[in-house]
Amino acid sequence: MKEKTQKNLYTAFVGEAKAYFRLLAYAAKAREEDIAQIDLLFRAIAEAERVHATRSLNLVQELVVQDTDTNLEKSFQREKTVSENVYPDFIQDAEAEGETAAAIFFGHARDAESFHAKLYERAIMNVIKEKVESYHVCQVCGYVAERKAPAKCPVCGAPQEQFKSVEA
């Protein structure tokens, strides 16, 4: 693909993906304000932006999506970078500015991402001994458990009910 178009498609993908989440937040706000019709409108357009995000991503597949070995390796590297460099810096800044909620969020994200890195690392090294039939994702911090949700999240302390399962 030609360079400018590829770059523009990638920009469109990022913009549409962000719009999806932003519009869902707008919908939630409309619900909070009891404006059901606008809640519905924002959710409908969010769904449309999700379609755009998927379509632009499909057109830049070659830029973003490689073979599974490469995708695993890149995902592992990204998790390592965010947990070892990006989030620690964010935590420091949030603490320096006294932004406690943000500091707690960054801390949870840093710890959860380092667990994600371990899951990728084990997948890359092929050391998953028994087949994993399900993963369980903490809806507070993003910690991912194999097979069974823990009684208490090791990263944020959330109870088992806060886990959402992803099944085979």
Give the type of residue at 159: P
List the one residue from 46, 119, 145, 155 that touches Fe ion (CB under 5 A): 155
Minimum CB separation of residue 72 from Fe ion in Å reads 13
72 binding Fe ion? (CB under 5 A): no
113 binding Fe ion? (CB under 5 A): yes
**Which residues have a Cβ under 8 Å from the Cβ of 23 and sit 6 or more positions away?**
42, 43, 45, 46, 49
- Closer Cβ to Fe ion, 30 or 117, answer by number: 117
145 binding Fe ion? (CB under 5 A): no
Span interacting with Fe ion, options 20-28, 87-95, 97-105, 133-141, rule CB under 5 A: 133-141
Strands of the sheet containing 144-146, edge to edge, are 144-146, 134-138, 163-167
The Cα-based distances of 79 to 4, 91, 119 in angstroms read 29, 16, 10
- Closer Cβ to Fe ion, 116 or 136, answer by number: 116
- The rounded distance, in Å, linking the Cα atoms of 3 and 118 is 35
136 binding Fe ion? (CB under 5 A): no
> Cα(first)–Cα(last) distance of the chain, in Å?
35
- Closer Cβ to Fe ion, 30 or 155, answer by number: 155
- The rounded distance, in Å, linking the Cα atoms of 10 and 6 is 6
Minimum CB separation of residue 28 from Fe ion in Å reads 21
Considering CB under 5 A, how many residues would be counted as binding Fe ion?
11
Q: Which two tokens stand for residue 142?
A: 């993003």
149 binding Fe ion? (CB under 5 A): no
Which residues of the chain form contacts with Fe ion (CB under 5 A)? 79, 113, 116, 138, 140-141, 143, 153, 155-156, 158
